[in-house]
Amino acid sequence: MFSKKTTHSRSFSTYIAFALMNLLLMISSLATAADQVNVYSARKEALIKPILDTFSQNTGIQVKLITGKADALLTRLRLEGSASPADVFITVDAGRLHRAKAAGVLQKTNNENLNKLIPANLRDVDGYWFGLSQRARPIFYAKNKVDPKELSTYEDLASKKWQGKICMRSSNSVYNQSLVASMLNATGEKATQDWLNSFVENFVRKPAGGDTDQLKAVAAGQCDITIANTYYFGRLINSADQNDNSVADKLGVFWPNQTDRGAHVNVSGAGVTTHSKNIANAVKLIEFLASPESQAWYSAVNNEYPVVPGSEISDTLKSWGTFKQDSVDLSILGSNNRNAVKMMDRANWK
């Protein structure tokens, strides 16, 4: 039989061993956390992973990436709550970034470097999100049908001369919602509603498909005019498919409202999640995405404009010329979104 002293000694040794094992597991967990950052991204993997890999190579911080639809990822963040592994949420459009802020899934980040690099109108007024790349939404026209001298403003697209000549994607598109939200800010509710009513009457067909489908419809002669984000046009230009190149060759880009507020622009952006376990790494990643290297990459690979003034832009973007952009605070696009959607519904924009 074991003596009480022997039993007590072994019990104590077991306790010490168990405590040491837990300590080692905790240290291991902390070390792992210090070397990683978890990203939920509404951007497709091909459009974000290469630059995240570069971040890992430069810093030694491993990025765990989950991609998905913007609304689905936002819902996931809300449902996961404090159990969420996400540290950074990347999504497209100021409207969606505003929804993430309103849903309480982002935390305020007061970072001097980001505030200095990114113009105030391209980041959240309270520091919950930061724009990382810009996507302009100008007018595209059929070169063989439209004289660009006939074009002037978004507002002019509601005139009768464009009746039955415009293709647009659905009002469910947050890109169209943000365009209307910007007009609501610029011209007021009555003028915007009047414009919407007449603009929708000029549609040649019921809205269907994405921006690329609208560009292809213009090239095919189904309509003369559309409004689309420039990066879709850039993809057609740089595609390995000659059919895509042919579509692009038939289109012209027109920068509207150059004598007043400027062409509408929006952003893709990111914020640190409310329950991030790796806040320091999350901020480092967002800072890296605002660096000259990343800004130039966005331009060359994604055909998007940098948010940091003075950044290098690709030859494709240069070929479209310089333009005046609307300098509205993009936070306003989010706060105007609900009203913009209601007004689009009233105009019967399907």
6 domain residue, yes or no: no
Q: What's the pLDDT score for residue 33?
A: 53
48 domain residue, yes or no: yes
Is the sign of the CA dihedral 106, 108, 111, 116 positive or negative?
A: positive
Write out the two tokens for 62.
């491993």
Distance CA(171)–CA(224), nearest Å, equals 20
Query: pTM for the complete prediction?
Result: 0.86
Distance CA(221)–CA(296), nearest Å, equals 35
Are 251 and 145 contained in the same domain?
yes
Are 145 and 251 contained in the same domain?
yes
User: What is the domain-level CATH number for residue 44?
Assistant: 3.40.190.10
26 domain residue, yes or no: no
Are 231 and 341 contained in the same domain?
yes
177 domain residue, yes or no: yes
Write out the two tokens for 147.
């004289």
Q: What's the pLDDT score for residue 34?
A: 65
Are 253 and 191 contained in the same domain?
yes
The conformation of residue 121, written as its DSSP 8-state character, comes to G
What's the number of CA atoms in the CB half-sphere (13 Å) around residue 97? 33
Contact yes or no for 175/133 (Cβ under 8 A): no
Contact yes or no for 326/265 (Cβ under 8 A): yes
Closest CA to 235 of 66, 94, 44, 95: 44
Are 49 and 59 contained in the same domain?
yes
Q: What's the pLDDT score for residue 177?
A: 96
- Beta bridge mates, 49: none
Based on the structure, what is the number of domains in the chain?
Answer: 2
Are 302 and 174 contained in the same domain?
no
Write out the two tokens for 158.
């509601």
Are 340 and 305 contained in the same domain?
no
222 domain residue, yes or no: yes
8 domain residue, yes or no: no
Q: What's the pLDDT score for residue 24?
A: 42
- 3-state secondary structure (DSSP) of residue 250: coil
- Structural domain boundaries, residue 272: 37-135+268-318
Q: What's the pLDDT score for residue 123?
A: 96
Residues 6+ apart with CB under 8 A from 15: none
Are 131 and 159 contained in the same domain?
no
Are 166 and 253 contained in the same domain?
yes
pLDDT by 10s per residue, the chain, length 350: 444 444 444 444 544 544 444 444 444 344 445 699 999 999 889 889 999 999 999 999 999 999 999 999 999 999 999 999 999 999 999 999 999 999 999 999 999 999 999 999 999 999 999 999 999 999 999 999 999 999 999 999 999 999 999 999 999 999 999 999 999 999 999 999 999 999 999 999 999 999 999 999 999 999 999 999 999 999 999 999 999 999 999 999 999 999 999 999 999 999 999 999 999 999 999 999 999 999 999 999 999 999 999 999 999 999 999 999 999 999 999 999 999 999 999 999 99
Are 242 and 308 contained in the same domain?
no
Distance CA(81)–CA(145), nearest Å, equals 53
Are 56 and 116 contained in the same domain?
yes
Write out the two tokens for 319.
């070929």
17 domain residue, yes or no: no
Q: What's the pLDDT score for residue 27?
A: 40
Are 200 and 336 contained in the same domain?
yes
